[in-house]
Structure 1
């Protein structure tokens, strides 16, 4: 019989997944894994690199992109309190270039720590960097957005980053359509609950 996942207090969760670690591949920069929300959420939303305001407040998506993310979540029938929002990488490569394979390999254990703690059904990747990071693919977000992918036991749903849509109407339309699709996917009963029920 599978026991239900215990609720982890947010402060305890932060202590477990939020730690600044020096990355040997990114001299002078740090790597941070941190997030906020429901630790038992079906949906883990993975951002990219937190900015100064996010660092100061210890919370991802606090600016204009964060406000827009709240609107997008509403399209999917969700609120911030019903998901876990994480910024995985603080060591964005210089000039926003794509991460090297060795960088992804070095960062993977920290992401694995995050996903095991939250144990979501869906991982929504926002933007090119996090999509390539999670799926370990060279295919960009323009081709992958709005299409359900798999990474191990997780369903991965790549979507454009909300910040990109603030300046691009076409991306805004795509984002809102993709979050509507996410809402449809979430209308199907939680596979984790169904699996636990059938095995009890």
Structure 2
């Protein structure tokens, strides 16, 4: 519990500690991984492991931890044949998250965004552009920008360190051309990149 004080809003610590203990989760806080904020796995010995990135702000950490616990609870309740982010997981995630959607845990400006998101939660909070941007406002300052903030023609470094030029917007995503190869890639509007010019 004392470790979680460093990563969670104050009033989320006790209920999340109870969820972790109740589900006998081995929680490991790890260095940043670019491809995910957290993950759940059932270990070969039958124990349950969850890893969460240490660099997440307290609100994203809370959501990510509940997201991963929802996988465990959904698999226990409905069996391992369910889709990882299917209907059963969504319902479980909504039910587990509901007690945390309070102003003593989340700031008032985040609560309406979270309420909208949890009507139909996505597999990743990053695929919900509105929620991703709202949560990002609580991160420390950085030199990164969102793709949607850049003007067309801007050159930027992607998360993988390669150079791209922003092209036009399609329905939801932006076409971007890798400078070195000329290949076209699609970027989510809330992808964080490093502008170069």
Question: Higher strand share goes to which structure?
Answer: 2
Asked if these proteins are the same fold (TM beyond 0.5), I'd say no
TM (norm. structure 1) is 0.32
TM (norm. structure 2) is 0.32
Question: Higher helix share goes to which structure?
Answer: 1
Question: In terms of Rg, which structure is larger?
Answer: 2
Q: Which has the higher contact order (CA 8 A, sep 6+)?
A: 1
